Amino acid sequence: MRILWIEDDPDITAELFFGKEILRSHDVLTIRDFEDAHKAIANNLEQFDYVVIDLNLEKSSIGEQAKKLMNDFELKKSQFLEEAGFHIYIQLMEKGFPKERIVFFTANTASAKEDFKKMLRNVT
């Protein structure tokens, strides 16, 4: 199974977040920036079975797509980055990605992370 993981904090590694068991049995592509995530979804979404999104992408840079969305929604940089994960979700919905295969996380969701790991174990 292939997982797209969108997480802007470089201190949170895939091994720390998913654990060794998940990484041994699933291919995880980590993207650390909103613009790169937007491009991956626009161009390669069919490659992924699940998308895991950090809601707050405050460490992302602001590129052309972020500027467009900031303008469209009349958001300041900090406001946009706090909710950038929701903009990724909207993009996924517009592309027809199944919502049951999208998982949101914030820094304080240890129990939700465990639920996701259990779900992956049951799928494979």
Q: What is the pLDDT of residue 47?
A: 97
Domains and CATH numbers, the chain: 2-123 (3.40.50)
Question: Measured between alpha carbons, how far is 41 from 113 in angstroms, rounded to an integer?
Answer: 22
- pLDDT confidence of residue 26: 92
Q: Are 124 and 1 in contact (CB under 8 A)?
A: yes
Answer positive or negative: Cα dihedral of 28, 81, 111, 100: negative
Which pLDDT does position 107 carry in this prediction? 62
Torsion on CA atoms 71, 74, 77, 81, rounded to nearest 10: -100
Chain-wide mean pLDDT for the chain? 90
Taking Cα atoms as reference points, which of 104, 92, 81, 89 lies closest to residue 33?
81
Q: Where are the beta strands (DSSP E) in 1-124?
A: 2-6, 27-31, 50-54, 102-105
User: Residue 104 has what pLDDT?
Assistant: 85
Neighbours of 20 (CB within 10 A): 9
> Which pLDDT belongs to residue 67?
98
Given a cut of 70, whether residue 89 has pLDDT beyond it is: yes
Give the pLDDT confidence of 23-50 residue by residue, as tens digits.
898 999 999 999 999 999 999 999 999 9
